[in-house]
Copies of this chain bind each other. A is one copy, B any other.
Amino acid sequence: MSVEHILLGVLSWMPNSGYGIKKEVEISGRELGWGRLSYGSIYPKLKKLEEEGFIRAVTAEREGRMTKIYELTAKGWRELADWLRCPPAPPEIRDELVMKISFWETGLPEDRETLIEHLELRRREAEEMMRHLEEWSRNGYSAIGELGGLAMDYWLDHLRLSIEWYGRVIRYLEGPPAPPRQDPHGLYEKARRRRQDALGPEESDLPKHPRR
């Protein structure tokens, strides 16, 4: 319920254009802390915020280009402060890789190589992301004040932890193919049987080529 507030917050750092806001919040194509912000949502929202008097457009010349720079009005600063005072919503994490890992042993137990590939790709992406972040925070931009720096640390620490965990899972997968299994409720065995009953013994054993 508040892409609007993210926009007001970014504009509190400095007056900016729609294009500039996206650049400000994204690091290598991803947004930290706010899923994604696409132009398709930024521009209409900025228009709406202007109509409602939270921001004001100052069509300006920036390095030779015509740019529509927005800045906060008194009403906008007040709205931002009110929003900041409200208790924040709980965090939402959407991580397809971790979900796939949770489903792997019941859904595709015979194919460990593909999962290792997923993990290695993700690990490379995360390392790339960390490099960008470290460089960015050295520039001092967008991390305004000490709190901004602490927020940066938050993302860096979590990235570091994720990278470490990807390695841990890869090491597990590269180990012996059938380790002794803790299965107090027999769920894994039952799942394996249901799958075999549905697919037949041949298909449930033969890994196929990945698509996409």
Contact = CB atoms under 8 A, between A and B. Distances in A.
Tally of this chain's copies: 2
A181 to B, nearest CB: 6
B9 A98 contact: no
Contacts of A99: 6, 9, 33-34, 88
A87 B188 contact: no
8 contacts: A35-B94, A71-B194, A74-B199, A82-B211, A84-B103, A88-B118, A91-B93, A140-B185
Give chain A's interface secondary structure class: helix
Interface residues of A, number: 101
Interface in A69-93: 71-74, 76-78, 80-93
A40 interface: no
A19 interface: no
Nearest to A166: B154
Nearest to A148: B102
Interface string A185-198: 10110110011001
Contacts of A59: none
Interface of A: 2, 6, 8-10, 12-15, 30, 32-36, 71-74, 76-78, 80-108, 111, 114-115, 117-118, 121-122, 125, 140-141, 143-151, 153-155, 157-158, 161-162, 165, 168-169, 172, 179, 181-185, 187-188, 190-191, 194-195, 198-200, 204, 208, 210-212
Contacts of A35: 92-94
Given A92-B93, A93-B93, A188-B145, A12 B106 contact: yes
B191 A98 contact: no
Contact of A172 (B97, B103, B150, B172): B150
A33 B93 contact: yes
